[in-house]
Amino acid sequence: MSLPSKPLAGLKVIELGSLIAGPFAARICAEFGAEVIKVESPDGGDPLRKWRKLYEGTSLWWFVQARNKQSITLNLKHAQGLEALKKLLAGADILIENFRPGVLEKLGLGWDVLHALNPKLVMVRLSGFGQSGPMKDQPGFGAVGEAMGGLRYITGFEDRPPVRTGISIGDSIAALWGVIGALMALRHREVNGGQGQVVDVALYEAIFAMMESIVPEFDVFGFIRERSGNIMPGITPSSIHTSHDGKHIQIGANGDAIFKRFMQAIDRHDLADDPTLTSNDGRDARRDELYGVIDRWVGSLPLQQVLTTLTQAEVPASRIFSAEDMFSDPQYLAREMFLSATLPDGKPFKMPGIVPKLSDTPGGVEWTGPQLGEHTEPVLTALGYTREAIAELRRNGAI
């Protein structure tokens, strides 16, 4: 029986970018079958190759972020390197780039040029502040986008300065918007008979779009949501608590029926039957009292007993997982969220599984992040370059 095809098979994606936002967007395309050709500088390539924990000189993150991609090196400051890139783009479906606005234009690769070269090309542009507006030319990393987009303002405890999340979430959310935009543009192209277009994603807007109700709450009531630590103001109870053995657990009992079951499970029938607590607004008015009750109950028991009680009562809860917890968790394992792979020297290692799960055309990993320029020659050969022409490009410093 033949293996199912992947949903993006047949699409060619050219990645011009580095670090997180652009490469993560391209990684998602590659996992679901697109041919992704990552264009890197001959001078060291993507800086992500040297970020965080290195194994034999290469980032472990790189092996995940660049999986299923082909790596070619082109010197875009060299006329022959630019010419090779144009040949690639002439036959591509999607270009993903996360340069500062204006960089491609200075190289002679603005949208007007690329659209004339390939009218069906979809160009995904990820930048700090977008391709327009007074801030468009300023550099902007994901952390800046998180600050400007409102996420940092509400993250942390009310009596302390704002804090960051533990990952570069702004870049990753922007990447997701980039993929969504690319797929919508492809839908328009293929179903509605349209041409290619630009998908313009600003990092701060990618975050801002996720900020729930802060805009109407400020506009209508003048209300500014502030930092609130582990609780969710206005939605009660939902918070993190600490067990007797020092473990942390998230409990989300803010549904009306769930709250009643929770109170019954911990023998607080007085609260379960209290008519003032049957809906969220009443519970939130007595938030401090309820959190005190829950803190005392969780704090009197070991974590496993807390989890067992909540599971039996069908109350949503989870211990706070570390990577070590994930590796042995039955749910993670059942969902195949750890894939086995090997590093270049043959050492086995685990990498994250595929999200989302598609029933008929699932994504997958064919290979880990490639060596710098590993696919330069076969890609250029497919474009019509002869062995002699490729050797000349190498001698001239174009690749």
Cβ pair 36, 68 in contact under 8 A: yes
Which pLDDT score, from 0 to 100, does residue 5 have? 87
Which pLDDT score, from 0 to 100, does residue 1 have? 39
Please choose, from the candidates 273, 137, 157, the residue with its C-alpha nearest in 3D space to the C-alpha of residue 202.
Answer: 137
Helix H or strand E encompassing 290: helix 287-299
Classify domain 12-210+336-396 by CATH architecture. 3-Layer(aba) Sandwich (3.40)
Q: Per-residue pLDDT tens for 44-96? A: 999 999 999 999 999 999 999 999 999 999 999 999 999 999 999 999 999 99
Q: Which residues are catalytic?
A: 171
Tell the residue number behind the tokens 């290469």, with chain if given.
58
Q: Per-residue pLDDT tens for 180-236? A: 999 999 999 999 998 999 999 999 999 999 999 999 999 999 999 999 999 988 899
Residue 3: pLDDT over 60: no
365 DSSP 8-state letter: -
Q: Per-residue pLDDT tens for 265-274? A: 999 999 999 9
Which segments of the chain belong to CATH 3.40.50.10540? 12-210+336-396
Model pTM?
A: 0.93
CATH fold of the domain at 238-319 = formyl-coa transferase, domain 3 (3.30.1540)
Angle subtended by helix axes 256-265 and 303-312, to nearest 10 = 130
Which segments of the chain belong to CATH 3.30.1540.10? 238-319
